[in-house]
Amino acid sequence: MDRQRMRDRIREAQRVEVTRRSLLKGIGGLGAVVAAGKAPAFIREAGASTPRKVSFMLPWLFVGGHAFEFVAMKQGWAKRGLDVDIARGYGSGAACKTIASGQAMFGEASFNVMVSGVAGGMDLVAIGAKLQLAPQAISCRKDSGVKTIKDLEGHSLLQAAASGDTVMFPGLVRAAKLDESKIQKTLVHPSKLISTVVNKQADCTGSYYVSNAADLEYHVPSVHFMYADFGLQTLDLGLMTTSKMIKSEKKLVQDIVDGAMEGLKVQLLEPEKALDVYIEAKQELRTVPRKLLIQHMGNTNALCLSPAVEKRGLGWMDPEDQKRTRDVVVKYMEPKNDPPPVDKMFTNEFAGHVKLTSAEWARAKEWAAPYNPFKRS
């Protein structure tokens, strides 16, 4: 081997040794930094988990009673590593179809509409109730001359096609012994329900007490006829998903329910705070009168209260209420097929983990009392 090649090999060996020593020194230093809890940015980034994308559909517009879901989005769901996209709804019927078809992973809708959908072949399961009392109503201007439910005969009524109150209306007709042929019913786009009645182009609107009933009352003196007063009392707006999701993603389902109920607890106890979080998330709500959003929230909170959740925790669904919900659907909504047993449509497996103390319940009840439709004069 000539001398030049020998010198080249010696220089290469020296270069490799220097590189090896530098690397060991660097590793030693890095180990000390990591041990001290100060991993550099590239290490932290490499080990960080990406938030899980989750789709969630509401039953209706962004009204005040949905503040709890946006509190959950910012707090309860976020701390569980979930990035939840909340989409507006177009009625409980539409929400149920969207969830059952897999276009949304989770959502909120009326449980009576869900039961009817399951009877028709949809894969849906209730995983936690928000409303313990049914919110469906007929809302009328006071000056329309409608003073009793029977007075609907001879007056005009607007309805939105996919809304839960519309789906249940045939049941109300039978329960209240109305002559439906004498009611001037018109289906309109949801955005036209309130303005048309306020402008005296119609007398009444099908409504949810937690949303468009509050909208009407905000604009004009109104009267409300609750479906529940005529025997159509059900568990209502609440969380749902598919049985497939429950089987394959139990932890995700638990995280969704727990995060949502933590948000509902804030809405019950600190409504103004919950509303602030909501408005921050949905900037378009800045143009909505705060008083109206509070009315939505108050009406919602009033229907969230029951001995069942006070005893067992938020989201809990009393088995008797589950059965009553199914029975109402069978009796008044007359599905083409009988719904399956309640244990196939409702589960408390994920509900009841978030609780309020006795003092907190007293506070929540006191705040919601003025909005209770069943105790108004």
User: CB of 131 within 8 A of CB of 304?
Assistant: yes
List, in sequence order, every beta strand (DSSP E) within the chain: 52-57, 82-87, 106-109, 125-129, 136-141, 156-159, 184-187, 204-208, 222-226, 238-241
Separation of alpha carbons 219 and 198, rounded Å: 7
pLDDT of residue 350: 98
Of the candidates 136, 116, 220, 211, the one whose C-alpha atom is nearest the C-alpha of residue 176 is: 136
In terms of Cβ atoms closer than 10 Å to its own Cβ (0-12, 13-18, 19+), residue 327 is middle
Backbone angles phi, psi at 221, to 5 degrees: -60, 135
Output the six-digit token pair for 49. 């988990």
pTM, to two decimals: 0.83
| Residue keyed to tokens 């048309």 | 196
| R_g of the chain, CA atoms, integer Å | 28
Bridge partner list, 136 = 208
User: CB of 336 within 8 A of CB of 297?
Assistant: no
Backbone angles phi, psi at 291, to 5 degrees: -60, -35
Instruction: Determine how many CB atoms are found less than 10 A away from the CB of residue 155.
Output: 16
pLDDT of residue 211: 92
Mean pLDDT by 10 residues, the chain (377 residues): 48 46 40 38 46 96 96 98 96 93 97 95 98 96 97 97 86 95 95 96 96 94 95 96 98 98 98 98 96 96 96 98 96 90 98 98 97 76
Q: How far is CA 86 from the centre of its chain?
A: 9
